[in-house]
């Protein structure tokens, strides 16, 4: 790394949830490249091999912390442990989420509870508790980036609970941005379109079941339907994730930025 280069996240401490793989891990790597120290949280007892490789490359600036974001006590312990090593958290990449789907008339209470526990309750309380410590420490240049989805922009017959959970993320982003404006803490979100991660393996399998498609067919179709012509890669989210966390976005708050190859126009 060239120390004369002006890094966008120099001296920041970023907490990234659900970042042992997929989009979160790609963003952790981008934040490290921009000079941040990163605390990565996820469910596993051990880091994934991909995360372990990144940790070997950044032994002094990257740590893994196990936490289930549905458990408020674990969120408290996560924030405490993150701060203990790298100091007050200045950047939150609030990313942990799960996907499930079923026809609306079959979308029962168990699916609702499971999705809302992670995608809404977990996302809200991680954000609230990190914001509280940002306020308490009067962190300068603090920013939250929530992970919404194009699914939060409009409903889908087969995906009602997930769509609603991501609409909630967009709404909480707006409320939190207004609540935190006086503290100069910015709160924004990213709404990805379709990104090739393990989550999409799961999505593809479910669409295959409910739309009677061959495995891989839905993924191929949605990729081809993107105006830019292809399904995104996790690294396609990194530019927006760095930008919204950085001083370059200092006059941007309460926004949800579509990063989706043109799928949604707003
Ligand atoms: N992949 C896409 O096409 C796509 C599109 C739109 C939005 N998103 C959103 O982007 C974010 C990242 O998705 P991804 O595609 O990288 O998926 P992913 O499944 O690879 O990553 C999600 C991570 O969250 C973790 N997680 C799940 N429950 C958790 C919990 N209770 N506590 C802590 N961690 C938990 C998982 O272990 C996993 O590592 C999610 O918020 C997702 O909804 C993804």
- Residue 102 Cα to ligand 1 midpoint, Å, equals 19
Identified catalytic residue from 31, 64, 162, 172: 162
Judging by beta carbons within 10 Å of its beta carbon (0-12, 13-18, 19+), is residue 5 exposed, middle or buried?
Answer: exposed
Residue nearest to atom 43 of ligand 1 (CA): 97
pLDDT reported for residue 5: 75
User: Does 64 participate in catalysis according to the annotation?
Assistant: no
pLDDT digits (tens, 9 = 90+) for 112-138: 999 999 999 999 999 999 999 999 999
**To the nearest whole number, what is the mean pLDDT of the chain?**
97
pLDDT digits (tens, 9 = 90+) for 46-95: 999 999 999 999 999 999 999 999 999 999 999 999 999 999 999 999 99
Domains of the chain: 13-194+233-259 (3.40.50.720), 196-231 (no CATH)
Ligand 1 midpoint to CA 106 (Å): 23
Half-sphere exposure of residue 13: CA atoms within 13 angstroms, side-chain side = 20
pLDDT tens for 240-256 read 999 999 999 999 999 99
Task: Please list, in sequence order, all residues whose beta carbon lies within 8 angstroms of the beta carbon of residue 178, skipping any fewer than 6 positions away.
Answer: 254
What confidence score (pLDDT) does residue 157 get?
97
Residues with CB under 6 A from ligand 1: 17-18, 20-24, 42-43, 68-70, 95-98, 118, 122, 147, 149, 192, 194-195, 197-200
Q: Is pLDDT at 1 greater than 70 in this prediction?
A: no
Query: Whole-model pTM above 0.85?
Result: yes
Considering only CA atoms, give the Rg of the chain. Answer: 18
Mutate to test the pocket of ligand 1, among 65, 199, 206, 257 (most ligand atoms within 8 A of CB): 199
The residues near 146 (Cβ < 8 Å, ≥ 6 apart) are 94, 123, 127, 169, 172, 173, 187, 188, 189, 190
């Amino acid at each position: 790394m060239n120390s004369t280069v002006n890094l966008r996240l120099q001296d920041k401490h970023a907490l990234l949830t659900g970042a042992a793989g997929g989009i979160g891990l790609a963003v952790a790597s981008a934040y490290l490249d921009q000079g941040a120290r990163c605390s990565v949280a996820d469910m596993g007892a051990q880091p994934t091999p991909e995360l372990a490789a990144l940790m070997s490359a950044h032994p002094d600036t990257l740590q893994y912390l196990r936490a289930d974001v549905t458990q408020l006590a674990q969120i408290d312990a996560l924030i405490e442990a993150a701060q203990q090593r790298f100091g007050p958290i200045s950047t939150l990449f609030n990313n942990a989420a799960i996907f499930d789907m079923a026809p609306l008339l079959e979308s029962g209470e168990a699916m609702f509870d499971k999705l809302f526990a992670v995608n809404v309750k977990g996302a809200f309380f991680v954000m609230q508790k990190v914001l509280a410590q940002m306020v308490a420490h009067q962190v300068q240049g603090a920013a939250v980036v929530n992970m919404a989805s194009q699914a939060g922009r409009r409903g889908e017959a087969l995906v009602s609970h997930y769509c609603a959970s991501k609409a909630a993320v967009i709404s909480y982003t707006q409320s939190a941005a207004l609540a935190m404006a006086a503290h100069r803490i910015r709160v924004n979100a990213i709404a990805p379109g379709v990104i090739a991660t393990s989550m999409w393996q799961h999505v593809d399998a479910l669409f295959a079941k409910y739309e009677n498609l061959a495995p891989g067919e839905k993924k191929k179709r949605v990729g081809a339907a993107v105006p830019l012509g292809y399904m995104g890669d996790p690294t396609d989210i990194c530019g927006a994730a760095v930008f919204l966390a950085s001083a370059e976005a200092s006059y941007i708050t309460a926004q949800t930025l579509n990063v989706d190859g043109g799928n949604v126009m707003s």
